[in-house]
Amino acid sequence: MATDSTPARPVGGRDDDPSGADAPGPGPAPDVRRPPAPAHGGLLHLLRHARRRRMLGWRYWVLGARALRLKLKYGDRVQFDGPAFICSGVHFEIGPNAVVRLGRWSWIGDDTKIRCHEGVIEVGSKSVIGQECTLSTYERITIGRECIVADRSMFIDFDHSVAWADAPIRSQGIYTRPVTIGHNVWIGYGAAVLRGATVGDNAVVGTYAVVTKDVPTNAVAAGSPARVVRMRDAPSTMVWADPHEVPLPEKERRRLVREDARRWGKPVPEDALEPVDEP
């Protein structure tokens, strides 16, 4: 049972080679993984892209139509930056002050429930959410790019207060803290990621694990509560770039920050608007 000092609010790397072989020379330059480019070139370009990937079948049209219907229903409370696929039976609840953001080429599996009472739910580009999953937030749930979330997984960023024994639990309010899933993460079947937990990039969470504390980058965690059972090798040629944090040429960094802000309707930071003196 989680506790928090904040008041409740009303419900609303690899080891050395033992063989002694010479160390390998420098590897290839890092492949900096940024989100896929936004759709450009209009409908014709999009159709060509879909044909190359065998995505012109009737099933994909139905999945895309569901996303369009969702946009028509909720307006600015649902935001896309490209095509997204929503399977049958997916249930959305989006409050008047809430936003759901689905990255391009993301996939939401059958009968998944997305309940954004308040705050933000964000699913990154090319991430796949399995069947019968639950995402429920009063503050923020973020799932990074190219993640795999197995069926019946659960992400919840709030707990009910139980501070007063003589009051009904349902009337005692809730505690909230964001849930954050990094990039290239695999969440196993039936896992639960609870309030305040962060799962780092390239991590794996085992089947039926209950994540209540942070899982480091490249870790494998399992159990209830989840504990790190081993570490994966850190990728040597793949870098997950965040334009706000990763060292880049300043001009390129500012361009990426501006694009990110425009894509999601966020205010552009002042430093990203200032011109960069060319060397």
Q: How far from chain centre, in Å, is Cα 177?
A: 15
Q: Residue 155 has which token pair?
A: 């992400």
Both 124 and 161 in one domain: the answer is yes
* Total number of domains in the chain: 2
Both 60 and 155 in one domain: the answer is yes
Both 195 and 279 in one domain: the answer is no
Give pLDDT, residue 13: 39
Give pLDDT, residue 215: 94
Q: Name the DSSP class of 203.
A: -
* 8 Å CB contact between 174 and 195: no
Both 180 and 271 in one domain: the answer is no
Q: Is the pLDDT of residue 176 over 80?
A: yes
Pick the closest to residue 192 from 176, 172, 206 (CA basis). Answer: 206
Query: 121 CB contacts (<8 Å, ≥6 apart)?
Result: 98, 99, 100, 101, 114, 135, 137, 140, 141
Pick the closest to residue 99 from 81, 116, 82 (CA basis). Answer: 116
- Mean pLDDT score of the chain: 80
pLDDT in tens, 131-165: 999 999 999 999 999 999 999 999 999 999 888 88
Could you tell me where the beta strands, DSSP code E, fall in 58-125? 78-80, 85-86, 91-94, 98-102, 107-108, 113-116, 119-123
Give pLDDT, residue 63: 78
Both 177 and 208 in one domain: the answer is yes
Both 230 and 247 in one domain: the answer is no
pLDDT in tens, 61-108: 787 788 888 889 999 999 987 788 899 999 999 999 999 999 888 999
Question: Do you find a cis peptide bond into 249, omega within 30 degrees of 0?
Answer: no
Domain that holds residue 263: 241-279
Q: Is the pLDDT of residue 39 over 70?
A: no
Average pLDDT over residues 262-275: 71
Give how far Cα 173 sits from Cα of 157, 158, 179, 243, Å: 14, 10, 19, 37
List the single range of 55-59, 67-71, 137-141, 199-203 with lowest mean pLDDT: 55-59
**Residues above pLDDT 90, as percent of the chain:** 45
Both 176 and 126 in one domain: the answer is yes
Active site residues: 160
Give how far Cα 270 sits from Cα of 243, 253, 273, Å: 15, 13, 5
What CATH number did the domain enclosing 57 receive?
2.160.10.10
Indicate the residue type of 242.
Answer: D
Both 107 and 229 in one domain: the answer is yes
Q: CA quadruple 111, 195, 268, 126: dihedral positive or negative?
A: negative
